[in-house]
Structure 1
Amino acid sequence: MACRAGCRTCDLDRCGRVGRVTTLDGLIDGIVDTHVQQWNPRRSPRLGRRMSRVQRVVPRFGDRVFSVVSSQAEREYLLTPRLVARAYEPRQYSNDVAAVPAVCGVPIESVVVTDAYTPLDEGEYPPDDHCVAEVDYLLGLPFGTASAPALGAMMVRGNPTLDGFGERLDSQLAVSDRIRGIQINASRHPDPKVRDGCQTDGLLATPAFLRGMEAVAGRGLAAEIFVYSHQLYDVVSVAREYPDTTIIVDHLGCPVGAFGPVGLRTGTTAAARADILRLWRERMTSLAAQPNIVIKLSGLALPVLGYGSEPWGNIGARDTLTHMVGPLVKHVVAHFGSSRVMFGSNFPLDKPNASFEMVVGSLLDVLEPWGEHVLRSVFRETARKAYRIGD
């Protein structure tokens, strides 16, 4: 979408519309969203946990019950139980992205999906039939029909330290040729009120994990890793051990508390927040020295960054989001280059704080001065290469 004068980007207040628009029309056919989660409490093999049961049994009171039965860490991570207690499938996602063409001129072309939100501790693993059933569930979703974008690739959860990890991978790969790698949640935080994604400190640097990664590397798969920013040096260990394996880091390396208080004592002062960002910048610069690491511009509105704890949202305006995440995005692009940076929405987990079009618009505001090549790479080309979409 261009202004009346025909330029590619402008302040459309001057043209009778509100907001800044940078059009991707003519640059790419559509956006690749590299971080979409899909689930259904009634259908996902591994999801029927406490929150979904609460909302299903007492839907009118589920939100109130959530604040009573869940921990502070869970509340701050999710903001509202509606995210995991109700289905989020292609129909819901299509509704969320419907306004994207009005913001940037192109639709969402394809998505990379993951399995259900429910975390998988490293000490447990679903039965083999559930591993396959999760893939079957994702394959059965109506992507590529009606207004839903195409399914570009899938990532499956896994923990290389567990016995039988390689065999489980093989059983999943036999079901679909769209699986491009494993997704590892190794997030651990010293603040006891910040949500942990696993139960082992320094999981990525353990000999068992590094040995188990051979099953990933040997099958030509990627490893997608979610850690908090103080754990980023552990990602370097993985990247060095397996230099020919693509290592994808989720959510900008997630500097918890960078924008405000989180948990018990994280980000509670301006000095503490400045220190969080200083250390994040240093660690991201170290990651950039490893050529097989790719960074995902996802989780930009993730609550644990410190936006606030109100369940109806804490950011408000696109300009606010742009102002807050802009320096982080610029640091990443400057050090990694556009060929190792890609967009991901992290929907629906970011949804309470920001609409989809707000996230896309903010990234456009930040990236537009870098030029058309960067826009093409971040919103489409890097993702297609990293996930081998179209192969």
Structure 2
Amino acid sequence: MDLAGLRVIDAHIHQWDPLTTPRDFSNLARLFKYLPVPIGLATRLAPRRDREFVGGPTAYVHPYLPADYRTDAVGVPVESIVHVEVEWTGSGPTAKADETRWVASLPFGVDTPRLGAVIGSADPAADGFAALLDAHRTASPLFRGIRTMVAHHPDTGIRSFAGGAGALTTSRFLDGFAELAERGLSFEAWVYSHQLPEVTALAERYPEVTIVLNHLATPAGLYGKVGKHTGANPGERRKLFLSWRDDLSALGAMPNVVAKVSGLMMPILGHPVPKRGSSTPVPELVERVGPLVAHAMDVFGPERLLWGSNFPVDRPITRIADSAQVIADAVTAHGGGPVDLAQIFRGTAERVYRIEAPE
């Protein structure tokens, strides 16, 4: 399928400058700036769980801004993007709203795609959650919802982003979540695949909140061993796929949930990482991720699927144009046509994030 005929919204990208804004990885970026070491050496010295998650630290030690995205997105007719929070730190109960304000100030929409929506960082279980939501809304009229870092894996060799398991099920989280419903805001659920039942329970409890499943729930180890034992052999990977398939079907029964066909080229899925600067061939990626995309189409339908490049996180494995082509080819191979592709690459994002078409 030729992408040239599409109008595209990239519904999941990250913008950052770890040298001038406070990120969890800012110290790493400053270390590389003031004490330069070969990137290959730094990769070898990094903890294994970090290496397996990011594939390589290059993207995290440099700014990634609108002009960088424009360069990466050559060949894809992207009109608008959705920025999703990324590890902003800071002191004070409303500090994370500064990321929304910072993103809104970036030079989008001149010779770069427009900024269509902002997803900020906030934790429903934290004190001052309601005040933080209001600070995000004040920071930009494009603020549409939040993402909370709740991804946690039982394999201690795999990087977790929450302090413990079950973050979506605590009484404080569930009680705070009502603030999203009151404000008409959405929730981005980025979890590992074994956490899918928790997302289903959350969607059932709050049917009035749109929940956006990120990255089809990141089935770590699906394509190769990661961590201490996850995906260690074909049998284990088959079990992982079947569990993911059944749990995604259950989640798809919740009408308030949509799913992003994004992040499917993250190294933590077990993809072999090609030589730096190269990209995995599109046919290889279609063969790997095709079954995930096909099942997601069966479960959600094109009207509840949306595409995101997840750049620059997916860059060690693929390019944006190749990432989009992989999804388009997988959709087409499963019987999807131009109307379905237009829905996945633009229509669903317009509806979910209330993005207005350009004049």
**Offset at residue 311 of structure 1 (A):** 6.2
Aligned counterpart in structure 1 of residue 31 of structure 2, from 54, 57, 60: 54
Structure 1 unmatched ranges of 5 or more: 1-20, 101-106
SS at match of 2:139: coil
**Offset at residue 53 of structure 1 (A):** 1.9
- Across the aligned residues of Structure 1 and Structure 2, the Cα RMSD in angstroms comes to 1.8
Equivalent position of 2:83 in the other structure: 113
CA contact (8 A) 1:32 1:379 kept: yes
Aligned counterpart in structure 2 of residue 187 of structure 1, from 151, 155, 174: 151
SS at match of 1:112: strand
SS at match of 1:111: strand
Greater Cα shift, 219-228 or 367-376: 367-376
Structure 2: which amino acid aligns with 1:197?
F
SS at match of 1:307: coil
CA contact (8 A) 2:96 2:122 kept: no
TM-score (norm: length of structure 1): 0.87
Equivalent position of 2:355 in the other structure: 389
**Matched ranges for 1:119-268 at <5 A:** 126-128=91-93, 130-146=95-111, 148-268=112-232
SS at match of 2:285: helix
**Offset at residue 119 of structure 1 (A):** 7.1
Counterpart check, 1:96 vs 2:72: yes
CA contact (8 A) 1:45 1:130 kept: no
**Offset at residue 312 of structure 1 (A):** 2.4
Distance, in Å, in 1 between the alignment partners of 2:174 and 2:126 is 12
Counterpart check, 1:38 vs 2:18: no
Count of residue pairs the alignment pairs up: 355
CA contact (8 A) 2:17 2:64 kept: yes
Q: How big is each residue's C-alpha offset from its partner over 1:274-308, in whole Å with a ceiling of 9 and x where there is no partner?
A: 00000000000000110001000000210011113
Q: How big is each residue's C-alpha offset from its partner over 1:198-220, in whole Å with a ceiling of 9 and x where there is no partner?
A: 11211101111111101111110
SS at match of 2:106: coil
Q: How big is each residue's C-alpha offset from its partner over 1:329-352, in whole Å with a ceiling of 9 and x where there is no partner?
A: 010011111111000110000001
SS at match of 2:183: coil
CA contact (8 A) 1:222 1:247 kept: yes
**Offset at residue 56 of structure 1 (A):** 1.4
SS at match of 1:218: helix
Structure 1 residues 339 and 323: alpha-carbon distance in aligned structure 2, compared to 1, 3 A threshold: same
Equivalent position of 1:5 in the other structure: none
SS at match of 1:243: coil
Equivalent position of 2:280 in the other structure: 316
CA contact (8 A) 1:73 1:193 kept: yes
Counterpart check, 1:22 vs 2:11: no
Aligned counterpart in structure 1 of residue 61 of structure 2, from 73, 85, 98: 85
Distance, in Å, in 2 between the alignment partners of 1:108 and 1:294 is 21
Q: How big is each residue's C-alpha offset from its partner over 1:96-152, in whole Å with a ceiling of 9 and x where there is no partner?
A: 00122xxxxxx1010000233x377xxxx7424632322221011111011x10000
Distance, in Å, in 2 between the alignment partners of 1:313 and 1:260 is 22
CA contact (8 A) 1:183 1:224 kept: yes
CA contact (8 A) 2:273 2:316 kept: no
SS at match of 1:251: helix
Distance, in Å, in 2 between the alignment partners of 1:48 and 1:283 is 33
**Offset at residue 23 of structure 1 (A):** 4.3
Equivalent position of 1:365 in the other structure: 329
CA contact (8 A) 1:90 1:141 kept: yes
SS at match of 2:219: coil
CA contact (8 A) 1:79 1:311 kept: no
CA contact (8 A) 2:97 2:120 kept: no
Equivalent position of 1:8 in the other structure: none
CA contact (8 A) 1:267 1:273 kept: yes
SS at match of 2:303: helix
Q: How big is each residue's C-alpha offset from its partner over 1:21-69, in whole Å with a ceiling of 9 and x where there is no partner?
A: 43452xx4x200011000012222335633212211123435423432x
Structure 2: which amino acid aligns with 1:136?
R
SS at match of 1:285: helix
Structure 1: which amino acid aligns with 2:180?
V
Equivalent position of 2:49 in the other structure: 73
Structure 2 unmatched ranges of 5 or more: none
Structure 1: which amino acid aligns with 2:27?
R
CA contact (8 A) 1:307 1:315 kept: no
